[in-house]
Structure 1
Amino acid sequence: MHALGLRADIEETFTYPAAVVLGLRIHGTVPPADPRTVVYHVFDVADGLVTRITGYTDRSQALDAAFPRATAAGPEH
């Protein structure tokens, strides 16, 4: 995506015991760039290593995937 001229700005981050969620705003002139849209990437972490990265277009789904019990109480910042 970088070779296509796309760039990402981090809009928000959430950390959980076994995952990190990044909200990313994609900039550029080709899809999926849209300054109104934020995409979410969930980085699953085990023993200090990223074990899986999953993308979401919905913030709630990303937070649920990162730590299902956390969305009822709110994420940690």
Structure 2
Amino acid sequence: MNCLHREKGVMEKTTQAMTYGGAATSVLSGLSLNQWGVIVGMVVAVLGLLGNWAINIYFSHLDHKLKKTRLAAELAGAIKGDDDDDS
């Protein structure tokens, strides 16, 4: 009886996967070329925004790091700034 219970669980999972696969196939095959163009455009736009956001954060971090290093060097006297020349 235990073996039958396992087979029933496997069969339920298989039929569920087939049902979802069939539903996805029918939805995807029912889209027109214009609808696919809109979907692809939305995906590209979202990826572009996320990529731009990531690049902006990366370069802001580098800029902050550079400014911190320059300030530390100026405070240590290693770099003379243009503000010291009062001629």
Structures share fold, TM-score greater than 0.5? no
TM-score range, shorter chain: under 0.3
More strand by share: 1
Greater length-normalized contact order (CA 8 Å, ≥ 6 residues apart): 1
More helix by share: 2
TM-score (norm 2): 0.20
TM-score (norm 1): 0.22
